[in-house]
Structure 1
Amino acid sequence: MRILCVILCLLALPATAQEIRRSFGRQTATVRLLVRSTTDIEVFSPVIDAFLAVRPDLAVDYEQWGSNLLYDLTLSDCASGRRGADVVISSGVHQMVQLVNNACAAPHVSALTTALPAALRWRDELWGITREAAVIVYNRDLVPPEDVPLTRFDLLDLLRPTASPYAGKVATYDVESSGLGYLFAFSDAREATTFGALLESLGRTGAVATCCSAEIIDGVANGTYLIAYNVLGSYAQVAAQSDPRIGIVLPQDYTLVLSRALMIPKAAAHADQAEALLDFLLSAAGRAALSDVLLITALSDKAGAEDRPPLSETALRPIGLSPALIVALDQQKRAQFIRRWRENLSRGVRP
């Protein structure tokens, strides 16, 4: 029933459901690799260029999608046997594990894939290709240094006063529209004793929940928000390179660490070339390209421009690729979690 509903919903979607589509490589290339991804094309395009530099015989058509729509489309392709993407890359790694569990992925084994840690490789059908933190972002011009929240406890303290200057000025992902936002919030609920109190405080003070990294980060930069919680650090770091108003904190109580997951659909038209892209991304050259665009970061280094002690390795909480993530998609648990979210943050949600 779930798959049938997905198919019917997708048939009603416009052809331009993806956010952006861009082509790379020679128009005369005999093989065009279709990559569907949640990764911002402006961030990922140098990585594609680096891949095509070593594979000039190929071209890449890149589609940027929201994580929930990408999951539904990929599930629909799988259920119908339709040839869709050759490569799927998503930050909604719980959704990717579910797709693999639904037998939607093709296997691949190489020296590079087997060299990955077990937490970044599942069934030889799903691989973690990046290393990114969930961070706190703040406006460096408008948030005094003594107010910068270095932990979730600090953020709670900022929101506790009745007349907190941060009321209505904190943003986070909307867990209903953002698969990544849901994953981070669900991981928080399992990781931290502070989650319930933080959720209540965010709701009580009119925090804003919205869909997208770019909107949240831009809002912090222009002062619409003063602080953003659980934002994907790679995008924040890219923005901070050109905008000194953006400050970044890797929470010292614990920092969630995400590896975007890559899958080759079992009906991929160009599986060999998809495997070549995966192996490139796992190679030294590919990892260098991912590091250049901050999709792989040294999380033990100082966060942003501020001079802070390195984050302890014990504070890192990697989100591993495993069946444990499927719990996040259990319909009953998801419905309960979203109901709890709505009860607290409904006043701040923006469409």
Structure 2
Amino acid sequence: MPAARQAVTMRRLPCACLLLALCLSGTAASAPAATSLHIAAALDRPAIAPVLAAFERAHPDIDIRYADLATRAVERRIHDMSRPPDVVISSAMPSQLAAANAGYAARLSGPVIDGWPARFKWRDSVFGFTFEPVVFAYRADLLPADIALDSHGALYRALTDRRPRFCGRVAIYDPARSAVGYALYQADAGHTARFWQLVSAFGQARARQVSNTRAMLTGLSEGRFVLAYNLLGAYARRYARRHPEIRIVAPRDYTLMLSRMVFVHRAAPHPEAAHKFVTYLLSGQGQRVLTRQTQLAGPPRAGTSTDRSNGTRPADQARIMPIALDAGLLAQVDPAQRRRDLAQWQARFSVPGQPGCGASGSAGPSR
């Protein structure tokens, strides 16, 4: 190549590189950066993953950042105004309602919000988006076949008449550490006064108190527990599909039904994206994904086909006992009331002089 032509070519090379860089930067600038949507949830991500994926496909400009937390940790995030989440999800219904009542939840609007069933929303700010049974789980292979565990009464009789079989191998919620466990015990106690006799039976059987359903299920699959009480049905069924030795029971005398609740934080860094997510979650499309692709089930809604049994609902619908989303839940978060409730729990769970694991029989309710 002649020296003159080589010099011209070398002079043009930086210009071409500069032009290419400008074109590339222009292309990058023309593509808007994705909005991060921060969700603080007391809900295992795999349990709701199909819904999250479907939302991101429908909104490719939104990138979900999902924090899987315990119920108490979610409560702390709600009150931490230095780094509030955009969306809050929890199964601790009293805590969610209290947060909304205290002004931490933004009021939403729109056709989907207006059309959501009244008994599954509070002041258009917090919404129950699932309807799940609270169940028993047990290891049939580790218990005699003649032990019945199909109702609260049958459970009480098993714990008292066959106590040595269960000694130290029953898992229950610790109401002091688990917000949802505390709420479920309150629902039990509100339904029947005989619940406290069952609590005493748990104490006599030296039941282990844990903080979440996951710990109960892990203990069951490992053989450390033979029975677990008041598990969230969606988790239990999903886990039992991979561990067929675990049996799931929706008690036939009554089955509590719980709704996981969602709201947009009033200080959400990305309120528009948060509003879109909650609207999608409650929409017909979102509920179909929830119902058909997860073990969760949506609330019953007139004129829709999203409600379906996930295999853990009681056959007799009259025995379903929904935990009502109303002002009655607020009493459970009153500090003085909570102290009294926990004191009553402790008194019934550990009464001095009660027979221990080595003895069967009790002065409990007539059978």
If the TM-score is normalised by the length of the shorter chain, which range does it land in? 0.7 to 0.9
Deviation at 1:38, TM superposition (A): 0.3
Deviation at 1:345, TM superposition (A): 3.6
Alpha-carbon contact 1:301-1:311 (below 8 Å) kept: no
Distance of aligned partners of 1:302 and 1:272 in 2 relative to their CA distance in 1, 3 Å threshold: closer
Alpha-carbon contact 1:39-1:89 (below 8 Å) kept: yes
1:341 counterpart residue number: 345
Residue by residue over 1:54-102, the C-alpha shift from the partner in whole angstroms, topping out at 9 and shown as x without a partner, is 111110111111111211231232xxxx451110011111001111111
2:16 counterpart residue number: none
Alpha-carbon contact 1:126-1:261 (below 8 Å) kept: yes
1:295 counterpart residue number: 296
Alpha-carbon contact 1:34-1:61 (below 8 Å) kept: yes
Match status 1:314 vs 2:315: no
Structure 2: distance between partners of 1:269 and 1:63? 15
Structure 1 gap segments, 5+ residues each: 1-27, 305-309
Structure 2 gap segments, 5+ residues each: 1-31, 299-306, 357-367
Bigger Cα displacement from structure 2, 152-161 vs 140-149: 140-149
Distance of aligned partners of 1:84 and 1:144 in 2 relative to their CA distance in 1, 3 Å threshold: same
Of 43, 56, 60, the match for 2:60? 56
Match status 1:128 vs 2:131: no
Alpha-carbon contact 2:134-2:257 (below 8 Å) kept: yes
Deviation at 1:177, TM superposition (A): 0.9
After superposition, residues 270-285 of structure 1 pair within 5 angstroms as 270-285=270-285
Alpha-carbon contact 1:138-1:246 (below 8 Å) kept: yes
Distance of aligned partners of 1:299 and 1:161 in 2 relative to their CA distance in 1, 3 Å threshold: farther
Of 327, 331, 346, the match for 1:323? 327
Alpha-carbon contact 1:169-1:227 (below 8 Å) kept: yes
Structure 1: distance between partners of 2:310 and 2:316? 10
Question: Normalising to structure 1: TM-score of the pair?
Answer: 0.84
Structure 2: distance between partners of 1:274 and 1:114? 17
Residue by residue over 1:224-251, the C-alpha shift from the partner in whole angstroms, topping out at 9 and shown as x without a partner, is 1111110111100101111111110111
Report the residue type matching 1:202 in the other structure.
F
Superposition RMSD on alpha carbons, in Å? Answer: 2.2
1:21 counterpart residue number: none
Match status 1:33 vs 2:34: no
Distance of aligned partners of 1:194 and 1:53 in 2 relative to their CA distance in 1, 3 Å threshold: same
Alpha-carbon contact 2:89-2:262 (below 8 Å) kept: yes
Deviation at 1:212, TM superposition (A): 1.7
Structure 2: distance between partners of 1:40 and 1:29? 28
Report the residue type matching 2:224 in the other structure.
T
Deviation at 1:186, TM superposition (A): 1.0
Give SS of 1:231's match: strand
After superposition, residues 81-96 of structure 1 pair within 5 angstroms as 82=82, 84-96=84-96
Distance of aligned partners of 1:59 and 1:346 in 2 relative to their CA distance in 1, 3 Å threshold: farther
After superposition, residues 1-351 of structure 1 pair within 5 angstroms as 29-77=33-81, 82=82, 84-161=84-161, 163-291=163-291, 292-296=293-297, 302-303=311-312, 310-345=314-349
Deviation at 1:183, TM superposition (A): 0.6
Q: How many residues align?
A: 313
Question: Normalising to structure 2: TM-score of the pair?
Answer: 0.80
Structure 1: distance between partners of 2:310 and 2:132? 13
Distance of aligned partners of 1:279 and 1:162 in 2 relative to their CA distance in 1, 3 Å threshold: closer
Distance of aligned partners of 1:148 and 1:223 in 2 relative to their CA distance in 1, 3 Å threshold: farther
Report the residue type matching 1:55 in the other structure.
H
Structure 2: distance between partners of 1:197 and 1:346? 12
Alpha-carbon contact 1:29-1:59 (below 8 Å) kept: no
Residue by residue over 1:136-155, the C-alpha shift from the partner in whole angstroms, topping out at 9 and shown as x without a partner, is 01113223443231110000
Structure 1: distance between partners of 2:312 and 2:148? 13
Residue by residue over 1:189-235, the C-alpha shift from the partner in whole angstroms, topping out at 9 and shown as x without a partner, is 11112211001110111011111211101111222111111011110
Alpha-carbon contact 1:138-1:148 (below 8 Å) kept: no
